[in-house]
Amino acid sequence: MPFAPVLHSEWIKIRTLRSLVAGLCAILVVTAAFSALAALDTDGTDFDPLFSALFGVSFGQTAAIAFGALAVSSEFQGGALRVSLAAVPHRGRWYAAKATVVGVAVLGVGLLTGCVSLAVGKAVLGDKGSGLSWGEGLRGAVGCGIYLALMALFAAGLTALLRSGVATLSILVPFLLLVSFVIGDLSGSVADFLPDKAGQVVLHETSEGALGPWTGLAVTACWTAAALLAGAWSVRRRDA
């Protein structure tokens, strides 16, 4: 069975659900809006123009996670998975197509989000943002796209494992909003290797911890790969 028709089918499923399209838009809007707000407040000793301009990612990632979770959890409602797997009985292929579509969609929106946030952030920062080089800006925007895509896929894999979007979101959202903020200040510890902390290094102009921008994303990618593999195991092993 060729892969392209399955990809096409999964893409139709994404763009024909209003909640999923709204989720993608929310990534852009929320990130840009919070980035603009953060750029207004430039006081403080550790001011980082790049992170100021991309600060909204901390909030936009919630939308990315919700998107990833919803895209998969819509298959676990009312026997939808049976219809999907009756059409594509090769479960690995079906799951790979689902993950590809989720990842590519969020990557695209994430790259755009990075560029827009950066532009908005720089405009709000004015002179204070002039220290930011094009190279750093580009790295931040690309990193933003990759990071958001990885987080969406992390949620997608977890949802496939737990078979529930609610369960996934009630784990991930509190984790990102609370745990990470609370222990996030403990820099230089294992907290640096949490999926969100590690991946967000790329959004900073300078990195202090053990991880650099790309190694940080690699750590997040490992978390995502683990979640996706666990989800794949669940999809392949369990009865639909």
Partner 1 sequence: MTSIDVQDLTKEYGATRAVDRLTFSVAPGRVTGFLGPNGAGKSTTMRLVLGLDRPTSGTATLGGRPYTTFDEPLRHVGSLLDAQAAHGSRTARDHLRALAASNRIPEPRVDEVLEEAGLASVARRRVKTYSLGMRQRLGIAAALLGDPPVVLLDEPSNGLDPEGIIWIRELMRGLAREGRTVLVSSHLMNETASFADHLVVLGRGRLLADMPMREFIHARVQPRVRVRTTDGAALRDVLARHGYDAVEGEGDGDGERWIVHHARVADIGRLTSAAGVPILELAAEEGTLEQAYLDLTASAAEFSAQSPSQCPSPTQPQEA
Q: Give min distance, CB of 67 to partner 1, in A.
A: 14
For tokens 């969020």, the residue is: 106
Between 82 and 212, CB nearer to partner 1: 82
Separation of alpha carbons 46 and 115, rounded Å: 23
Structure tokens at 50: 């790049």
Separation of alpha carbons 208 and 220, rounded Å: 17
Between 89 and 174, CB nearer to partner 1: 89
Between 86 and 190, CB nearer to partner 1: 86
Q: Give min distance, CB of 99 to partner 1, in A.
A: 15
Q: Give min distance, CB of 175 to partner 1, in A.
A: 27
Which positions touch partner 1 (CB under 8 A)? Answer: 1, 5-6, 8-10, 12-13, 16-19, 74, 77-80, 82-83, 85-90, 239-240
Q: Cβ neighbours of residue 176 under 8 Å, at least 6 residues apart?
A: 58, 61, 62, 65, 196
Q: Give min distance, CB of 233 to partner 1, in A.
A: 14
Q: How far is CA 50 from CA 30, 38, 44, 56, 234, in A?
A: 17, 11, 15, 11, 39
Between 42 and 234, CB nearer to partner 1: 234
Between 92 and 131, CB nearer to partner 1: 92
Q: Give min distance, CB of 89 to partner 1, in A.
A: 4
Q: Is 43 helix (H, G, I), strand (E, B) or coil?
A: coil
Burial 101-139 (b: 16+ CB within 10 A, else e): bbbebbbebbbbbbbbbbebbbebbeeebeebeeebbeb
